Amino acid sequence: MQAQRITHGLVLILGAIVLAVLVQPIGSRPFYWVPLVTGLTYLLAAAVGGRTAALWAPGLVVTTWGIAVILILGRTVDVDFAAATVTALGAGATLAVLLQRAGFAVSALGIALSVLLAGGFELLDAVGPALFGKGWAYAILLGGWGLWELRLVRTHNAPDRDPAVAPTTAPTRTGGW
């Protein structure tokens, strides 16, 4: 579990750097590339973590949504935005369920939260503060998540939380140590 957290943390930080450098204002890609880059970051983190990695559901859901967003806003296809993105979210959720059936660590809650957050961030971009229309803001969120994963590893490896060290007193029937 610790190795997986380290891997996730490092891949999320790498994805944040790529996102910040690739998407405007620093990079040349428009803001609508954020979902695809984010989804691919999740998929990479899941892939290096193996079948038990926790990011398969968001990786598939956000990547398929990101592909739809780029195809529509990049004017590659001319279809209704809402219909295409909802279909893409459904396709990503379906792929995630198929992975679960194949033995990958995918949960129904992970799928649902991925869809909810994709829609929520789309809504924030549409009606929220201008901050939510900036690629660097999502790079900060992604990098912050990566740092949090690494912090959890450090916290769990702290000397006072070493699982190999037994507590100094026995538990009592009234609870506590």
Closest CA to 139 of 8, 32, 39, 20: 20
Q: What is the pLDDT of residue 80?
A: 96
Condensed to tens digits (0 to 9), the pLDDT of residues 161-173 reads 545 544 444 444 4
Q: What is the pLDDT of residue 172?
A: 47
Tell me the average pLDDT of the chain. Answer: 88
Helix (H, G, I), strand (E, B) or coil at 76: coil
pTM (2 d.p.): 0.83
Q: What is the pLDDT of residue 159?
A: 53
Q: What percent of the chain has pLDDT over 90?
A: 73
Q: What is the pLDDT of residue 98?
A: 97
- Distance between CA atoms of 60 and 63, rounded to whole angstroms? 5
Condensed to tens digits (0 to 9), the pLDDT of residues 71-92 reads 999 999 999 999 999 999 999 9
Q: What is the pLDDT of residue 156?
A: 67
| Segments in the chain below pLDDT 50 | 162, 165-173, 175-177
